[in-house]
Chain A
């Protein structure tokens, strides 16, 4: 018995140590990027930064925030996220509400019509040709309309709507409310938490997306933040971006911060997510659970 208690204790200690290691593995990359972005370029280039910044300075951030390209990309990302999420929420509610109503005649037909698209899809090229055929190429709507509705999110929202007691709707019908009034005056106010949950699903998706922007946007003025990050860090175009801005002595000045600037750009792109994620993650977890139980 004593031995059992002992081995149990050993396991528990091992488990806690394992969890601490796991947390370090998850967090360390971000801490490193932050420290490197705040360090002197020479220390980063020599690989001397491990945990805390060495030769602390803000030159990389000054440079990044001095780029018009970065500001414009930030503005674009915010625009696409706000407009995209608004469109997403409207369409998702318009779909979820009728499907949540027991008296929606033909519901099964529509459900089948939607379910088919979860199994079959046109694929990359036919989708691209449709978007181009609609004249959306090189327009912000190419990033918003093709993904205006996520079937999964609509199902989750329908489940939330179904959770509202029918008695409320019946009473409102007796009071002479139309379907639209029921939606606006009863369902929506009662569903604000769930609408926010779904809204955050969509918003994080827009913030992080880059592929549609890459294939649909030709004009680099319209690039969102993620694409600019990609060209600076993954395609090594720091100098191109800088020289596009002013003209003189840029070569030397970028070389002085060539490494730290990449870390600073990564930081600039990820900071909003790092700031909001601790608060929104619990909504995500809740939404995921609803989705997985239903789906």
Chain B
């Protein structure tokens, strides 16, 4: 193991430390009755700068660096190891893994002590689990999934440099304070925040297969969030953000107009009517379309979901079959750093299992072609395609990176809108919907619940068949099931847009992007969004210069 590592031209003392502890642990564990077949150590060093302002003053200012340790240890064999899901009553015994904080001097004794403590804890837990698992396998019926638990690989080695964070923090403090004062000038903005977050994340990994990797990313987000309470009690929120890789690229020009536009959106949404349950033609604008594909397709094609006995396995048996119109392609490609000048949040060089990030073609000419794979093989897909991801403290599973939808039949937005109206008239409906903005969504993929999706719409527009002016509505979410929704996809736009966000699932929160043109559906469904029940504030918001008495809540 060490010989392999010494062949690498560069060196990283922290990785040397990890390799040394792995070797020491291996010598001890291999003498035990139950032995690990694979162990990986990862240290994630995260420097995070947060500057936030509200009500014309500095609200948050931190610049902290945190180092955390992840230990991935598998007892047994790659065919059946301690990570294999338990079934029945035994499944109630969860694992206790967590993110372990490491000290600021990674080369010191404290790091080695914590490494040993966590290795020991993970080993003892895995050794106990494999015993239960073998009995569990005997007692339970044969599993649908007959694939191995783990794909052994030859460890890869690469040391990438991650640029330092450079940020004029003082300038941003002044800028955000001024912007927050601007946002706060509206009596209807009841709560708000202007925030700049900049992150530099460096991951160092060593495993028992010889992997020696250093990689990471920088990222910055400038975000505004405004909140008010509508007269009907609805908590109305507006959020907008710029995501960039290099903090120096955070836009600084005309931010006043940007904030003003968000305040305007909030005011408009506050006085907009709530929508109603609806079934009919719907057009999703680009960002909403991206999230639609993320929820409806992306989560359902994560490799590990095809293995678990409690998962719905929506597309498991559809490889080679059409699931979308033949002019639509979908690929998840973490190697893309930007698209059309927009930085992509889901970009990474290496995944969290030591596999190089690579494109995974999911849909080709409308035909479903494969899955997002981590190192948990499927019977028909034995190899990872570099999508094993996690936030620290979790076990990596297959996750999305940059999910990109492309079309061979791009149409201008006006053409999509015209088709929407045609469909509305054909159905004899008074109006259809265009979903302009969303705040995210979620998908249920298990068997115990309906295999539905929910796209959290923020701003939807009624487009009237009789030519009335479009009407903004709030309070409705898109819902549906995947096959029906896909079968109703009738047209695609020529306006790919990027949704940058963070996706939460069983392996934690990971940065992702979803890119898609606008899409027209002949039929989608809206359901009512939950609504807060508190009355708006009984007294008007206090305003500077004693203007509070005049403002209405």
Say if A and B assemble together: no
